[in-house]
Structures are given as C-alpha cells and as structure tokens.
Amino acid sequence: MYVIGATHPSSFADIREMAKEYFFLVPGVGAQGGDMDAVIQYGRNKEIGLLINSSREIIYAGNGENFQDAVRAKAQEMVGKMSGYI
C-alpha cells in the first residue's frame, strides 16, 4: 500500500503506471482540497485500488446540537459519491 495525498490528482496517473496492482491510501479529499472525482479518475485500477480518506470534511461538518446529524449526513454523502464508481 502507498499513501498518496489527494491534492495533486493528476500525479496519480504516473504513480498508478508504476504501481498498477498496489492499493493507495488517499488522505486529503474534501476540506484539505482534494477532489474525489479527480482522484478516482487518475488513481483507480481495475479493482478500484483506492481507500479515500475524508476525515476533516466529515468531522467538521457540524457542531453543537446538530453535530451527529451533520456528520452522519456528510459521511453518507461521501459514501454515495464513492458508490457511483463501483
């Protein structure tokens, strides 16, 4: 497994060419500026091969009394978006 930040997704194509069958852990999608669609476009392999992390985008989705609902909604949104690629 390789850890590759999401903020420069066009680099994924070159890295994927060198590591075709390896799994990529990809932090930085969402609040840190990484674009999930671009990461998947450039980084996927025939088995998908990506574990996309978007923890800041999720944990800072809400605060106060609505925290739990906002975090759940954001997590579900991210899962829904990723599911479209499978």
Burial per residue of 40-58, b for 16 or more beta-carbon CB atoms within 10 angstroms, e otherwise: bebbeeeeebbebbbeebb
CA distance 25 to 29: 11
- What are the pLDDT digits (tens) for 34-45? 888 998 888 889
pLDDT in tens, 66-81: 889 999 999 999 888 8
In this structure, are residues 42 and 16 in contact, taking their beta carbons and an 8 Å threshold? Answer: yes
Please state which of the four CATH numbers 3.20.20.70, 3.40.50.2000, 3.30.460.80, 3.40.640.10 is assigned to the domain occupying 2-83: 3.20.20.70
* CA pair distance 86, 82, nearest whole angstrom: 7
Q: Where are the domains of the chain?
A: 2-83
Tokens 């809400």 belong to residue: 62
The structure's pTM equals 0.78
Secondary structure class of 3 (helix, strand, coil): strand
